């Protein structure tokens, strides 16, 4: 069993990392929790015992085997290499190292073998990318995806616990007839959708959109696949949804794709439109699977297939995927 540290333990993802380690009975010999000086001293329960949160210092890695980072790119850049150089395996949830050649970017259902190439740091992909890869990998293996268009419907939780709180605060302010507070998101999210996640780049795409494009290519080991993404924030609390259109190399039918996905690891198919049954974020919240529905033959592309994918962004999109990586070690 392992001595595990969680860096960013008091954040939304850090908290779920504790829950997932406990629920999946990860072999933890010792668990240590790290956060900023502001959160140090807080007590958090793990398997019935209180653990006191420690301030993150340059010495934090001593006595650890595995460090799960979920504290933002700047913290990862500063502290993860120190741990890795001292023999700790770092699983990093930020975007700091994802595209580095010597850092595996891993979705356990897709490319578990990449873990072997690590030099101390393994990157956890972007949340929207993880769920798309889980849903599309079986299709890519079997039929070859040539082109992929994706539009996302991303929950407030993607911006952390403060993002969720802002949506709740906006709702409360509306009910009470008060001024709507806007801080974490650039516009009011309540009764709105915001086609802007992360910063804009020079080519008009946002960083979130480029992550979906570049990370998917790295995870699939396929630079030929053509991808375009539009990422959108919606007033949902904690599961991301995605509308996806595919052009496949080989002819297939929606029936075949549905059957294939029913047998695929990590995927649950909910696709019964006659009974109004399809995946929705309100049902996916708090669960581990990647849900796929609305699977259709689509004439817009040659060998076209369209589908709809939903998963809990904090769990499969972050904490669960990180713990699954740790389980592969
Ligand atoms: N950047 C994502 C979001 C979080 O804001 O929804 C997961 O990478």
Does residue 31 contact residue 49 with C-beta atoms inside 8 Å? no
pLDDT reported for residue 11: 94
- Say how many Å lie between the CA of residue 273 and the centre of ligand 1: 29
Take residue 321 and report the two structure tokens written for it.
Answer: 């995927």
Ranges under pLDDT 70 in the chain:
none
Catalytically annotated residue among 118, 127, 133, 140: 127
Per-residue pLDDT tens digits for 137-164: 999 999 999 999 999 999 999 999 999 9
Is 126 a pocket residue for ligand 1 (Cβ < 6 Å)? yes
Residue identified by tokens 């053509």 is 226
Q: Which residue has a Cα nearest atom 7 of ligand 1? A: 127
**Predicted TM-score (pTM) of this structure:** 0.97
Is 159 a pocket residue for ligand 1 (Cβ < 6 Å)? yes
pLDDT reported for residue 90: 98
pLDDT reported for residue 27: 98
Q: Which residue has a Cα nearest atom 6 of ligand 1? A: 158
Per-residue pLDDT tens digits for 88-117: 999 999 999 999 999 999 999 999 999 999
Q: How far apart are CA 170 and CA 174, in angstroms?
A: 6
- Say how many Å lie between the CA of residue 222 and the centre of ligand 1: 23
Task: Decide the pairing of beta strands 49-52 and 290-298.
Answer: unpaired
Q: How far apart are CA 293 and CA 302, in angstroms?
A: 21
pLDDT reported for residue 38: 95
pLDDT reported for residue 139: 98
Q: What angle do CA 177, 183, 187 make, to 5 degrees?
A: 75
pLDDT reported for residue 53: 98
133 as an active site residue: the answer is no
pLDDT reported for residue 327: 98
114 CB-near residues (< 8 Å, 6+ apart): 104, 105, 106
ipTM of the complex: 0.92
Does residue 230 contact residue 244 with C-beta atoms inside 8 Å? no
State which of 69, 154, 314 you would mutate to test the pocket of ligand 1, scoring each by most atoms of that ligand within 8 A of its C-beta: 154
R_g of the chain, CA atoms, integer Å:
20
State which of 240, 310, 315, 319 you would mutate to test the pocket of ligand 1, scoring each by most atoms of that ligand within 8 A of its C-beta: 240
Is 197 a pocket residue for ligand 1 (Cβ < 6 Å)? yes
């Amino acid at each position: 069993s392992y001595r595990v540290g969680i860096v960013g333990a008091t954040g939304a993802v850090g908290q779920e990392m504790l829950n997932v380690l406990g629920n999946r009975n990860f072999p933890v010999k010792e668990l240590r929790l790290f956060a900023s000086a502001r959160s140090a001293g807080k007590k958090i329960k793990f398997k019935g015992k209180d653990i006191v949160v420690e301030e993150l210092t340059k010495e934090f890695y001593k006595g650890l085997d595995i460090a799960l980072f979920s504290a933002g790119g700047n913290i990862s850049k500063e502290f993860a290499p120190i741990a890795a150089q001292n023999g700790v395996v770092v699983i990093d949830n930020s975007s700091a190292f994802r595209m580095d050649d010597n850092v595996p970017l891993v979705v356990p259902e897709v490319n578990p073998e990449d873990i072997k190439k690590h030099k101390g740091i393994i990157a956890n992909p972007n949340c929207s990318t993880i769920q798309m890869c889980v849903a599309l990998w079986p299709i890519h293996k079997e039929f070859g995806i040539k082109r992929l268009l994706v539009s996302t419907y991303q929950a407030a939780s993607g911006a952390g616990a403060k993002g969720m709180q802002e949506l709740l605060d906006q709702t409360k302010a509306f009910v009470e007839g008060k001024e709507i507070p806007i801080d974490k998101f650039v516009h009011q999210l309540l009764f709105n959708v915001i086609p802007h996640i992360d910063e804009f780049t020079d080519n008009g795409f946002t960083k979130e959109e480029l992550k979906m494009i570049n990370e998917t290519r790295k995870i699939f080991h396929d630079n030929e696949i053509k991808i375009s993404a539009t990422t959108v924030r919606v007033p949902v609390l904690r599961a991301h949804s995605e509308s996806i259109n595919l052009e496949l190399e080989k002819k297939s039918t929606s029936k075949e794709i549905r059957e294939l996905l029913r047998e695929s690891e990590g995927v649950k198919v909910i696709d019964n439109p006659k009974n109004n049954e399809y995946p929705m974020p309100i049902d996916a919240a708090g669960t581990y699977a990647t849900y796929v529905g609305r699977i259709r033959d689509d004439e817009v592309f040659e060998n076209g297939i369209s589908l709809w994918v939903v998963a809990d962004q904090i769990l499969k999109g972050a904490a669960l995927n990180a713990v699954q990586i740790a389980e592969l070690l």
